[in-house]
Structure 1
Amino acid sequence: MKPLKADLLIFFVTICWGSSYLFMKMGLGTLGEFNLVALRFGLAFIVAAALFHRRLRHLNRKTFYYAMLLGLLLFLVFTAITFGLKTTSTSNAGFLVSLTVVFVPLISSFIYKKKIENKIFISILLALVGIAFLTIKLPFTFAIGDFLCMAAACFYAIHILVVGSAAQKVDTLNLGILQLGFAGVYGLIFSIIFETPVFPSTTDGWVAILALSLVCSALGFIIQVVAQKYTSPTKTGLIFSMEPVFAAMFGYWFADEIMDSNALIGAALVLLSIVVATVNVNISRRSRVKTTPTS
């Protein structure tokens, strides 16, 4: 797979995840937080495993280990987000969770002792300013929910980096499927301990769960794991920074939420950050070509 195709697939996943905020609001109306996580990832695993059951016959210990770790990280990400939304605004949550775009290169540079490229640094700044314009509504104050959403961003950055490493060592499709199953198991365990697991009792609840399970989870996370093998973790994080842009679009289309001038500026800046990160322009090389005398 070419890097451009991988980036486009991750871009498609970002669109799917942008719609998830709308469906999560619908689902949390009748389900507990752990219950929602359990159903979302449990059903996604069942569907994906049924479709690719022959592939799952070829499992090894390393794939199982990575899937356990990635499933735990997914569980922590979505648990932190759902509980965080109880004590912070949607705008604050959208901005703070999108800090994944900052955590990925920072954690990566710390682990691998690599210097952040200038264009990536500029892209991070553009993405942060854009996300701020798009999501922050003054006054901007911190609550427990704010810290939980920042924790979710950190967990997801680690998830992206672990996927980037694991995708080079194990079967990516099996890994993508198994991580869903483990996330669902963790959610079910905590739902049994702290809640009463139930199925949705309304049509809206079922629509939300099926959309979250089939589109946002089964399709989204499997594509992410497969495609990320052919692109970099930092670029993946930057593309995922467009999630609040699509979340705003779905809010406009289905919840009558109007984007003001600040939101439009933010969306444009986030899009620009992706262009800066993905377009390769070697100015120094062009300069050398023009100035080198011919013999």
Structure 2
Amino acid sequence: MKKGSLKSSLFLFLAAFIWGVAFVAQSVGMDYMGPFSFNGARFILGALVLLPLVAIRRQKAIKEGKEGAPFGVTLRGGILCGIALGSAALFQQFGIMYTTVGKAGFITTLYIILVPIASIFLGKKASGKVWIGAALAAVGMYLLCMTETLKLSRGDLLVFICALIFTVHILVIDHFAEKVDGVELSCLQFLVAGVIGWSGAILFEHPVLSDFIAGIVPLAYAGILSCGVAYTLQIIGQKDLDPTVASLILSMESVFSVLAGFVLLHQTLSLQELSGCILVFAAVILVQLPDKKKK
């Protein structure tokens, strides 16, 4: 494995860990505010956290005489990524209101299968080990998240739409990651996603300051770490990795969410859930194994 690929894999692994723990923050945060308000606030917070870093990087580039990517390209990427991210997050949040968390977790991670399928239509090929890893991960997710017979309900449909949009989000990031600054792209996508969330909050909810103050702890985690840090790690990490490989590593957030529930909420793991964890880890390791060199 190349050094750059290993570093990128570690970035995505850390992002998956942060997102896994963020499920706890999201669950607690919904006790204080609506889905539009929570998503709008956390994405804007994530953008504000990155603004100083964007300014520092800009000044450094100017001093070193480096030319950055055209602003139009960065703006276009930020808008497209932000629309995808904001929409997917809202569909997921609303879907969880009408279905179980186990179903939502499994259906959301269907993007690990949807990414290689979508990549085929974009002219990319996936190796045999990637398809095997995707199948293993899908079975692992089923064992990890499913606790009842799968039956498509209103909530399941909403979360499935979320998985489709997250697939688009991964592919859009893969398209722009090598063309623009990752931190600037991340900051812009949060601003766009935050505007989407706040627009919905103003139209359909009645957010009050006291709600945000009461839920400041889960909101701060979701905004600063889950948004400001993890999504930036995703953008930077995807630069040297195939989007299918990246999606498999990021799918480990479900594993970490179960572990976070065990540690923070004292939830026990069944044999079925442990089996799912093992399969997901096996899938990620398989995909990261180096290919045999052709003679």
Q: Same fold (TM over 0.5)?
A: yes
Contact 1:84/1:145 (8 A) holds in 2: yes
Q: CA deviation at 1:203?
A: 6.6
- CA 1:72–1:117: 2 relative to 1, 3 Å: same
Q: CA deviation at 1:141?
A: 1.6
Q: CA deviation at 1:52?
A: 2.7
Q: Distance in 2 between matches of 1:56 and 1:76?
A: 29
Q: Distance in 2 between matches of 1:202 and 1:154?
A: 30
Q: Which amino acid aligns with 1:28?
A: M
Q: Does residue 51 in structure 1 map to residue 65 in structure 2?
A: no
Write out aligned runs for 1:241-256 (5 A): 241-256=251-266
Indicate which of 23, 26, 29 corresponds to 2:25: 23
Look up the match of 2:276: 266
Look up the match of 2:88: 77
Structure 1 residues without counterparts, runs of 5 or longer? 289-295
Q: Does residue 157 in structure 1 map to residue 159 in structure 2?
A: no
Q: Secondary structure at the match of 1:53?
A: helix
Look up the match of 1:105: 116
Tell which deviates more after alignment, 6-15 or 162-171: 162-171
Write out aligned runs for 1:208-219 (5 A): 208-219=218-229
Contact 1:109/1:115 (8 A) holds in 2: yes
Structure 2 residues without counterparts, runs of 5 or longer? 60-67
Tell which deviates more after alignment, 15-24 or 163-172: 163-172
RMSD (CA atoms): 1.7
Contact 1:27/1:208 (8 A) holds in 2: yes
Q: Distance in 2 between matches of 1:171 and 1:24?
A: 29
Show CA shifts across 1:217-256 (max 9, x none): 0001111111211111111101012111100000000111
Show CA shifts across 1:200-227 (max 9, x none): 5377611000000011000011111112
Contact 1:188/1:197 (8 A) holds in 2: no
Look up the match of 2:72: 61
Write out aligned runs for 1:267-286 (5 A): 267-282=277-292, 285=294
Q: Distance in 1 between matches of 2:275 and 2:155?
A: 26
Look up the match of 2:38: 36
Tell which deviates more after alignment, 57-66 or 132-141: 57-66
Contact 1:124/1:238 (8 A) holds in 2: yes
Q: CA deviation at 1:197?
A: 2.7
Q: CA deviation at 1:66?
A: 0.8
Q: CA deviation at 1:55?
A: 3.6
Identity over aligned pairs, percent: 29
Write out aligned runs for 1:90-169 (5 A): 90-112=101-123, 114-169=124-179
Show CA shifts across 1:38-87 (max 9, x none): 10100111111033324468661110111011111111111011100111
Look up the match of 1:207: 217
TM-score when scaled to structure 2? 0.92
Q: How many residues align?
A: 284
Q: Which amino acid aligns with 2:276?
A: G
Tell which deviates more after alignment, 88-97 or 182-191: 182-191
- CA 1:40–1:145: 2 relative to 1, 3 Å: same
Q: Distance in 1 between matches of 2:29 and 2:125?
A: 42
Look up the match of 1:292: none
Indicate which of 242, 254, 258 corresponds to 1:232: 242
Q: Does residue 196 in structure 1 map to residue 198 in structure 2?
A: no
TM-score when scaled to structure 1? 0.92
Q: Distance in 2 between matches of 1:56 and 1:67?
A: 17
Q: CA deviation at 1:89?
A: 0.3
